[in-house]
Amino acid sequence: MGPDPVRERVRSHRPGVPGVAEVLSARFVEHAYPLHTHETWTLLLVEDGAVHYALDRRPHDTGRLVTLLPPHVPHDGRAATATGFGKRVLYLEPDALPATAAGRLADAPELPDPRLTVAVRDLHARLNGHADPLDVHARAAVLLDAVAAHVLRTPPSPRRDAPLARRLRALLDDRVVEGVLLADAAERFGVSSAHLVRTFTREVGMPPHAYLTGRRVDLARRLLLTGHRPAEAAVLAGFHDQPHLTRHFRRVLGTTPGRFVGR
């Protein structure tokens, strides 16, 4: 008899986000992974239950921790309890992290930092939803940078760079409707995506995607007040559709676009 499909489930897709090759969600009770390898880095978060696995022939157990398995290192995996386990996985491109981290991770793959746990969970959820691309790309860049810093024990520099933040803000202001690709902006300014996001957040007080969304809501507000219907205002302000505008409009202003103008 095969695994019970209700108790055993897997969902996976390619997100189209720099550095992230695959996003996977799974729940297993009976299934046991045989010894295998990946060409990618495996960033794993066990959400419930526990997993027993061997990595390079060394036994490990993981509960609700972030675990990072390096490429090309043999590992297996199975539920450590009769109730099974649920997991979120981000498979990272081979060049997403420094190759020098692999040897250290083969000995100690667990990353017991609660901030990484929150960051992995948040990014994974957004990659399985309909989040703004700038938000997703920014979170991915910052997470990869934080993971690399944690593994290599080189914390990111807190140095200030107000001119860089002003340049990105001007670019966002100039492209409120069409938006900005994080990788393009980082290349334009000659910095890493993670540094650009951290600098903007530190100097402006909010992440780039939150700033851009606020500018779009403000533009939609002006369009509504000049007679545009909510569906028209949504598209003209850079939102996907009216529900997308409504979600952010209500969050910022506490009401829907229609009620805002008495419709």
**Residues in a beta bridge with 61:** 52
Kindly report the three-state secondary structure assignment for every residue of 152-192. HCCCCCCCCCHHHHHHHHHHHHHCCCCCCCHHHHHHHHCCC
Chain position carrying tokens 């043999």: 74
In whole angstroms, what is the distance from residue 197 CA to residue 221 CA?
27
Domains of the chain: which residue ranges?
Answer: 9-149, 157-205, 210-260
CATH class of segment(s) 9-149? mainly beta
In whole angstroms, what is the distance from residue 186 CA to residue 180 CA?
10
- Domain 210-260 of CATH type 1.10.8.50: no
In whole angstroms, what is the distance from residue 126 CA to residue 120 CA?
10
Distances (CA, A) of 35 to 14, 17, 76: 24, 28, 4
Tell whether the model's pLDDT for residue 6 goes beyond 70.
no
Question: 47 in helix, strand or coil?
Answer: strand
Per-residue pLDDT reduced to its tens digit, 213-256: 999 999 999 999 999 999 999 999 999 999 999 999 999 999 99
Mean pLDDT of all residues in 150-175: 87
| pLDDT class of 131 with cuts at 50, 70, 90 | confident
Long-range contact list for 147-150, CB < 8 A, 24+ apart? 147/43, 147/68, 147/97, 147/111, 147/116, 148/97, 148/98, 148/101, 150/111, 150/113, 150/116
Contact 212, 252 (CB under 8 A): no
Separation of CA 180 from chain center:
17
Per-residue pLDDT reduced to its tens digit, 20-74: 999 999 999 999 999 999 999 999 999 999 999 999 999 998 877 899 999 999 9
Model-level pTM?
A: 0.88
Question: 257 in helix, strand or coil?
Answer: helix
Contact 147, 68 (CB under 8 A): yes
